[in-house]
Amino acid sequence: MTISDLKSGELIILECISGSRAYGLDTPSSDTDIKGVFLLPKEDFYGLNYVPQVNNETNDIVYYELRRFLELLSQNNPNILELLNTPEEAILYKHPFLAEIKPEIFLSKLCKDTFGNFALSQIKKAKGLKKKIMNPLDRERKNILAFCFVDYAQGAIPLLKFLEIRKWKQEDCGLVNIPHMKDMYGLYHDANGEYRGIMKDESSNEVALSSIPKDRERIALLYFNKDGYSTYCKEYKEYWGWVEQRNEERYHNTLSHGKKYDAKNMMHTFRLLEMAIEIAKEGRVNVRRPEREFLLAIKSGEYEYEELLRMAEVKRVEMEQAFASSILPEFPDMERINRLAFELREKFYTSK
């Protein structure tokens, strides 16, 4: 099922402008995101063709089937609660039957996690981005030789430097285990190709061991920093996976304001924290944000990362106190929600 199918079949029962334009945080360059709800034909819903969601390739247009919509509302999902509470001026179409879906049926103390604690987790994400920006990794992946060290002149030097000094090739070297010494090896050399080398090939994750005659003289001790190599491999995979998937526009915006954190991500962190506090205190979801200037200042990089951390901690404490004294229920009334889901669908199908 496609968006065209929803429109041609007149299946859409709610359609709203979402994202920055709904929050009142849009700028001239902002995209227009659309979210909504659709109703599957009766034969598809009761048959085997249930479709929970329909979206375009970029996910800036998303429609949820009525059952999925109510399910996510019962989980206090921020995006879906925002959709239910979209300001009138951002609603493109709303079927009259949907007036029965009232926010107070769904709001609960689950919002502390789904809004507030999720927002706080994004701070760590922003910090992770800062780490990636400040510590880029070369595209050429290091091999295990870069994590080997050799005892030399009352100290130790990198293996690659040692080989350069000796004018040796790693393929002409051989290693043997040193008993009771973790990741430590005896290093030998033979220019006639008798040994297996220090590594088999560029993709090797372990050093190669050779069979060394007992009468051969050990040249040096070699230490393979295996833990350091494992950490590097993990970070390399994460970094270049991030490079391939990152939003280039947001990345270059991050570089342009010079603060080395994802400013848009941090803006939404504070938006969600403010909304969580309001939900706890007022029992309602305020989608359009009154603190527009403050949030856009964060987005433009006017605050230092450490300053934002301090402000977020203050908001965290305020949120904890607000939910501790809130009159919201611990969880939504699932029996009431199930009854509403049944009654609404029956009303829609009967009307058709």
Asked if pLDDT for residue 197 goes beyond 70, the answer is yes
Same domain, 259 and 320: yes
> What CA–CA distance (Å, rounded) separates 314 from 310?
7
The CATH number of the domain where 6 resides is what?
3.30.460
Same domain, 323 and 252: yes
pTM (2 d.p.): 0.67
Asked if pLDDT for residue 128 goes beyond 60, the answer is no
Question: In the prediction, which pLDDT does 129 show?
Answer: 53
Same domain, 290 and 303: yes
Question: Which long-range contacts link 60-64 to residues 24+ away (Cβ below 8 Å)?
Answer: 60/19, 60/31, 60/32, 60/33, 60/34, 61/3, 61/33, 61/34, 61/35, 62/34, 62/35, 62/36, 63/3, 63/6, 63/12, 63/15, 63/35, 63/36, 63/37, 63/38, 64/35, 64/36, 64/37, 64/38
Average pLDDT across the chain, whole number: 91
Residue after which a domain boundary falls, among 232, 256, 282: 232
Q: Which residues of 60-206 form beta strands (DSSP E)?
A: 61-65, 91-94, 148-152, 155-158, 173-177, 184-189
Asked if pLDDT for residue 253 goes beyond 90, the answer is no
**Rounded (10°) CA dihedral 163, 166, 172, 175:** -70
The segment with the largest mean pLDDT, out of 83-87, 119-123, 254-258, 312-316, is 83-87
Type and span of the H or E element at 255: helix 248-257
Same domain, 100 and 113: no
Task: State the pLDDT confidence band at 255, using cuts at 50, 70 and 90.
Answer: very low
Domain-located, residue 31: yes
Q: What is the pLDDT of residues 9-68, one digit of tens each?
A: 999 999 999 999 999 999 888 889 999 999 999 999 999 989 999 999 989 999 999 999
Chain centroid to CA 93: how far? 32
Domain-located, residue 278: yes
Question: In the prediction, which pLDDT does 293 show?
Answer: 96
Asked if pLDDT for residue 78 goes beyond 80, the answer is yes
Asked if pLDDT for residue 249 goes beyond 60, the answer is no
Same domain, 18 and 149: no
Say how many domains are in the chain.
3
Domain-located, residue 74: yes
